[in-house]
Amino acid sequence: MTAPVTFQAKDYKSDLKPIWCPGCGDFGVLQGLYRALASIGRPPHEVAFISGIGCSSRIPGYTTAYGFNSVHGRSLPIAQGVKLANPELLVVVAGGDGDGFSIGGGHVAHAVRRNIDITYIVMDNQVYGLTKGQLSPTSPKGLQTVTSPLGSLEEPINPLLFVLAYGAGFVAQASPADMPGMTALIEEAIRYPGFSFVNIQSPCVTFGEDDQQLKVHKAKMKTLASLGHDPADQLKAMDLARSYGTELYTGVFYRNPNPPLSYEELIKLRQAEESKKARPRNRILDAYLQK
Amino acid sequence: MTTQTQTQGIDFATLSLRDALDLAVLIEEEARDRYEELAAQLILHRTPAAAAFFTKMMRVEEIHRKQLFEQRQRAFGNHPVMVKREMIYDVEAADYDEVRMNMTHRDALEVALRSEIKAHRFFEQALKVVPSVEVKKLFTELCEEEITHQALVKAELLKLDPEKPGDRDDFSDDPVAQ
C-alpha cells in the first residue's frame, strides 16, 4: 500500500435511495461508477452525469456530482453542450439501450464523429423495463413481449458494431457479474482522451429473460484478454463485436493507440490561431466597416 | 470466487497486520452497507420480513466492524488507512442480484448464509498466500468467526417452519408486463 486515501466511493453517493427493482443489474453499475470515480480522484463537483429517460437514466440523482436527468434520447447532445461550455468537467453520460439506440440513436453517430471527451455508458438490458417490458432496439430476434406477442421479427441493433463503425476511439463491454473488471473498464473509458463507449450488459430482473441474468453472465462471460485480443486491432474488434447477442465478451474491443485531438482541444487550437489574427480592441469594428 | 477476483491492488504476499486489519474493517463495512441498501430496496418494494432480517444483519456487521476497528486503533492508533474500499468487491457483502421483490424471510436467511460462506472462503484462500504469522493469526480468527456466523444463520433457518416455506404468494403486486 503506498498512498493515503483521498476520495472514496461513498463520496460520490447521494442520499437518494435507488428505486430500481431489487436484484437489478444497475445497482452494480452504480457501485462500479462510484468506485471508478474514486480511483480517478476528481472531486464530485468536477463531475457531471447526464442522462435521458429510463430506469438507468436515474443515475444522476444517485450521485453527489452535478446531474441532468434530461429528455428521452437527448442525453448525448446535452452532454456535448455541457462539455463544450465547461471543458474542465468530467462528463459521463448514462442511459439504457432504448434511450441510446432507439429514440436517441441518431445522436450517437454524431457524438462519435465529433469526438468530444465524454464517456457514454449504456446499461443494455434488451427491454424497456421502466414502461413494463416492451421490445427494445437490442431485444433479440424472436423475443416475445407485450408489443411482440408472437415474437419479434427484427434483428437487434448491435451497439458495439454501431459505435465501432462510426470510428469511436474506445469501445468496451462489461457486466456487473464481474465487478472489478467492470469498474476497471469504466475507469479506463473515463481516462481515454476522447469519446469513449462502454456497453454494460445490465439485466432487467423483472422483465428480462432468464438467460440474461447475472448468474448466467457469470457462467457465460469470456474476457477479450483471455482470447488474446489486441485492443489496437480495429478490424478484429469489429469481427469480435459481431458476436453480440450470442457470446458475452467483456473487456476493451478497441482502443485507438494514437488518440486524435478531441473536439474541445481542436477548438482551443482554433481559438489560439484566430486570436493571433485578432484586431486590437479599438479596431474591432473595422471588420464590419470593411464589409 | 477467490481472493484474486474479490480484491484489486492488494498484494497478499506483503500484507502487513495493519493493512490486514484495515481490510477486515472494510469488509465488514461493505457488508453492513450492502445489507442497509438491500433492506432499503425491500422496504421500498413492500417485502418487510426480508427487509427486517437484512436490517438486523446490518447491525450485526456494524458490531463486527466496530470490534475490528477498535482492535486496529489499539494496535496502530490513528495511522492513515492505506487500504481503500475500492480495493474489495463483495467479499462478505451479498451480491446485488441475490435479492428479489417479494422474497421471503427464508430466502433472506439463505442469502446471508451464502454471504458468510463466501467470506469464509475468502479468508481461507487468503490464508494460503499470506506469509506473515500475525496476519495468518488474524485471518484464522476471522475464518473461525465466519463459521460461527454460518452456524447462527443455519440455526435461524431451522427455527422456520418447513411446512410454511414462505409467504411469496401472499403478495398481490407482482409486476405485470403492459
The reply to whether B163 touches chain A by the CB within 8 Å rule is no
Average pLDDT for A157-185: 97
Q: Judging by beta carbons within 10 Å of its beta carbon (0-12, 13-18, 19+), is residue B11 exposed, middle or buried?
A: exposed
The reply to whether A267 touches chain B by the CB within 8 Å rule is no
Examine the pLDDT at A135 and tell me if it is beyond 90.
yes
Mind listing the pLDDT tens digit for each residue in A101-121? 999 999 999 999 999 999 999
Of A158, A170, A184, the residue nearest A232 (C-alpha): A170
Is A6 or B115 the better-scoring residue by pLDDT?
B115
Of A142, A140, A137, the residue nearest A122 (C-alpha): A137
CB < 8 Å to A145, chain B: 177
- Give SS3 for B158: helix
Q: Are A164 and A243 in contact (CB under 8 A)?
A: no
Give, in order, the Cα–Cα distances in Å from A194 to each of A40, A117, A170, A218, A265: 16, 4, 8, 31, 10
pLDDT for position B1: 43
> How many angstroms separate the CA atoms of A268 and A123, rounded?
33
Other C-beta atoms lying within 10 Å of the C-beta of residue B129: 13
Query: Quick check: B85 and A38 CB within 8 A?
Result: yes
- The alpha carbon of residue A277 and the mean position of all alpha carbons in its chain are separated, in whole angstroms, by 39
Of B111, B175, B139, the residue nearest B27 (C-alpha): B139
pLDDT for position B168: 53
What single-letter DSSP state applies at residue B7? Answer: B
**What pLDDT band is residue A194 in, cutting at 50, 70 and 90?**
very high
Distance from CA of A255 to the nearest CA of B (A): 22
The reply to whether A101 touches chain B by the CB within 8 Å rule is no
The reply to whether A277 touches chain B by the CB within 8 Å rule is no
Q: Which among B42, B89, B103 has the least Cβ separation from residue A180? A: B89
Q: Judging by beta carbons within 10 Å of its beta carbon (0-12, 13-18, 19+), is residue A212 exposed, middle or buried?
A: buried
pLDDT for position B26: 95
> How many angstroms separate the CA atoms of A76 and A146, rounded?
29
Other C-beta atoms lying within 10 Å of the C-beta of residue B9: 13
**What pLDDT band is residue B69 in, cutting at 50, 70 and 90?**
very high
Other C-beta atoms lying within 10 Å of the C-beta of residue B165: 12
What is the share, in percent, of chain A residues with pLDDT greater than 70? Answer: 98
Query: Quick check: A146 and B83 CB within 8 A?
Result: no
Q: Which among A133, A178, A184 has the least Cβ separation from residue B177? A: A133
> How many angstroms separate the CA atoms of A166 and B151, rounded?
56
Residues in Cβ contact with B81 at an 8 Å cutoff, skipping those fewer than 6 apart? A4, A5, B22
Query: Quick check: B99 and A5 CB within 8 A?
Result: no
pTM of the model: 0.91
Cα within 13 Å of Cα(A157), Cβ side: 26
- Give SS3 for B10: coil
Q: Are B78 and B139 in contact (CB under 8 A)?
A: no
Average pLDDT for A85-108: 96
pLDDT for position A284: 81
Is A210 or A181 the better-scoring residue by pLDDT?
A181
Mind listing the pLDDT tens digit for each residue in B137-150? 999 999 999 999 99
Nearest CA in chain A to B101: A22
**What pLDDT band is residue A91 in, cutting at 50, 70 and 90?**
very high
pLDDT for position A108: 97
Q: How confident is the prediction for chain B on average, in pLDDT?
A: 89
Nearest CA in chain A to B84: A5
Q: Which among A27, A132, A179 has the least Cβ separation from residue B89? A: A179
Average pLDDT for B57-76: 96
Is B169 or A113 the better-scoring residue by pLDDT?
A113
Average pLDDT for A141-148: 94
Query: Quick check: B45 and A24 CB within 8 A?
Result: no
CB < 8 Å to A24, chain B: 96
pLDDT for position B6: 74
Average pLDDT for A204-217: 91
Average pLDDT for A138-144: 95
Sign of the CA dihedral with A82 first, then A86, A87, and A91 last: negative
The reply to whether A9 touches chain B by the CB within 8 Å rule is yes
Query: Quick check: B82 and A131 CB within 8 A?
Result: no
**What pLDDT band is residue A97 in, cutting at 50, 70 and 90?**
very high
pLDDT for position B43: 95
A261: its cell numbers: 485531438
Residues 202-231 of chain A with CB under 8 A from chain B are 203, 205-207, 213-215
Is A123 or B175 the better-scoring residue by pLDDT?
A123
Q: Are A164 and A234 in contact (CB under 8 A)?
A: yes
Query: Quick check: B41 and A28 CB within 8 A?
Result: no
Three-state SS string over chain A comes to: CCCCCCCCHHHHECCCCCCCCCCCHHHHHHHHHHHHHHHHCCCHHHEEEEECCCCHHHHHHHECCEEEECCCCCHHHHHHHHHHHCCCCEEEEEEEHHHHHHHCHHHHHHHHHHCCCCEEEEEECCCECCCCCECCCCCCCCCCECCECCCCCCCCCCHHHHHHHCCCCEEEEECCCCHHHHHHHHHHHHHCCCCEEEEEECCCCCCCCHHHCHHHHHHHCEECHHHCCCCCCHHHHHHHHCCECCECEEEEEEECCCCCCCHHHHHHHHHHHHHHCCCCHHHCCHHHHHC
The reply to whether A24 touches chain B by the CB within 8 Å rule is yes
> How many angstroms separate the CA atoms of B3 and A272, rounded?
52
Nearest CA in chain B to A30: B96
Is A24 or B9 the better-scoring residue by pLDDT?
A24
The reply to whether B145 touches chain A by the CB within 8 Å rule is no
Is the ipTM higher than 0.90? The answer is: no
